[in-house]
Amino acid sequence: MSIRALWIITQEKGQSGTVRFSKRYPTVERRAKSLAGPQYVAVPEDCNILHPLMTELGLTDPDKPFVVTRDDCARPQRSPALELRLEGRGGGVLWPLLAIAQGGLILACLPLVDAPPEPRPPLPSLASVSQGLSLLAGLQNCLCGAGGKPEGEALASRLALLPSILLQVCPLGTPLDSPQMGAPHPNTNHSPAGAQKQPAWKAGVHRGRAVVNVALSEMVRSMQYGSRSKQDLWDVHGSVTCKCEVEGVLPNVTVTLTLPPNGSPLQDILVHPCVTSLDASILTASSVDDNDGSAFSGPYKFPFSPPLESFRLCSYTSQVPVPPILGSYQLKEEQGQLRVNVSLKLHESVKNSFEYCEAHLPFFNRGQVVSVDVKVSSGQLEVSKEKGLLVWVLGQKFPRCREVTLAGTVSFSAQSSGPTDPLCTGLTAYIKMYFRVLDLTLSGCCVDQHSVQVYSTAKPRITSSRELVSSEYYIWNSTGDAPVSSGLLMV
């Protein structure tokens, strides 16, 4: 359950990568050597790891259309574990190398194969693989935080912290914990040892006023085709994030999620490891299964003992009966210009109060936008000519009738090149919706403040919030040929 080595690599566009950080665990390497016997392949020096890794990730020779070592069609590039063919004296194949690439940042590690190397053991039989994946995910979190990939000095300063982080979480190659960035919690202290064992995932104990914050965030995805042959799709997935400042070494808190009557059950529930126990009925509903009416639909009780930091208590998916915004999008080619017709309808069950709501209409493979002659029944239209993009800002509210329209023509210059996309050719085009509604969930799921139970002496202050956010919300042009986004329809 150990890893042999770890690398962090950055790659700027069109350049070869740089190893920014590496760590080797020689005692694990010694074990690898004795386990693999004559099949042992040593971890190469940092200068020799880069090229085979980048080749395997398809990132070498960007200007050559076909390189057999990189692009061979029989290469199984379909699992999180790569097979690295080493170059030079010795050669050999290094497996299983786990790699996560995000933007130009690549994290990779080599887990120990604690089984005889021949025949090659199945990946899931190796204990170190999930440990390696978790370590990489933790490191990625440390380096990138919530805000995507850091650049330049920000990245350098985070990389500089890695040695001390690894001293804590993986001093000798066996991960003890998930890497975490940042100073210890301010209102805590290292309590003198008491009778109760303090959880290893809790560095200290909170002192001060008890505060519990529960935030429920739901994302809605949709693919709308406006066609008889293709069925529209939508689904939601949500997560509950908690931040609990409660005194005690191992305080008990219970959060309960409830659904409205007739609400469809929460599916695929995943819980944080701090949840102490689960009722079997909570886990029964699954999106891959047939839904029978008798499925359990709450209340969903999650008893747990909170860590100090903010954490995701649970996440779920849900099938909701209607999409919040139903759209129709029609394009017609007319003498070198496009006639555009859009209508968007807000469903009556959805609160008509947005934090923001925008519809983006990108036009690809047509050259730059030259003129736009379009009328909207509500909101404003912004045009970005170079980007070939119309942004329809709908603001905070739909009008009373809950329906808005956009109609008119857009023309393009034949000479200058605009944005291109291999998917959206001809009349294949889409509208992408961006919106956020506070104090609403589509599944109807909610956390009642009064249902949050905290077993502690002081009365805690409890806050809760809800929101609905769009994610991958597409409305396809019904006169074009839209790509299928799910196979669910075929059965």
Interacting residues of 230 by C-beta distance below 8 A, sequence separation 6+: 482, 484, 489
Q: What are φ and ψ of residue 161, in 5° steps?
A: -85, -15
Q: Which of 16, 87, 104, 114 binds other proteins (CB under 8 A)?
A: 114
Only one of the segments 41-49, 151-159, 401-409, 452-460 lies at the binding site for other proteins (rule: CB under 8 A); that segment is 41-49
Q: Whole-angstrom Cα distance, residue 59 to residue 105?
A: 12
Q: Which of 137, 133, 129, 177 is nearest to 1 (CA)?
A: 129
Nearer to other proteins by Cβ, of 216 and 314: the residue is 314
Q: Site residues for other proteins, window 449-488 (CB under 8 A)? A: 472, 483-488
Q: Which of residues 352-371 bind other proteins (CB under 8 A)?
A: 365
Which residue in 239, 252, 254, 352 binds other proteins (CB under 8 A)? 239
> Least distance in Å: CB of 349 to other proteins?
22
Q: Write out the binding residues for other proteins, residues 378-417 only, by CB under 8 A.
A: none
By beta-carbon proximity to other proteins, the closer residue of 15 and 463 is 15
Closest to other proteins by CB, 74 or 415: 74
Identify the residue among 16, 69, 178, 252 touching other proteins (CB under 8 A).
178
Return the structure tokens found at 219. 């994302």
Instruction: Name the segment binding other proteins (CB under 8 A); options: 135-143, 148-156, 293-301, 461-469.
Output: 135-143
How many residues can be counted in the chain?
491
Is residue 10 involved in binding other proteins (CB under 8 A)? no
177 vs 134: CA distance, rounded Å:
9
Q: Which is nearer to other proteins, 258 or 485 (CB)?
A: 485
CB atoms within 10 A of CB 102: 12
Q: Which residue among 15, 125, 384, 449 contacts other proteins (CB under 8 A)? A: 125
Judged by CB under 8 A, which stretch of 312-320, 334-342, 429-437, 440-448 contacts other proteins?
Answer: 312-320
Distance CA 353, CA 343 (A): 19
Minimum distance from residue 26 beta carbon to other proteins (Å): 5
What span, in angstroms and rounded, lies between the C-alpha atoms of 56 and 87? 13
Nearest CA to 82 out of 41, 125, 53 is that of 53
The string of DSSP codes covering 312-355 is EEEEEEE--SS-SEEEEEEEEEETTEEEEEEEEEE-TTS-S--S
For other proteins, the binding residue among 159, 161, 181, 203 (CB under 8 A) is 203
Nearer Cβ to other proteins (132/263): 132
Q: In the 8-state DSSP scheme, what is residue 266?
A: P
For residue 93, state whether it binds other proteins (rule: CB under 8 A): no
- Identify which of residues 38 and 119 has a Cβ nearer to other proteins in the complex: 119
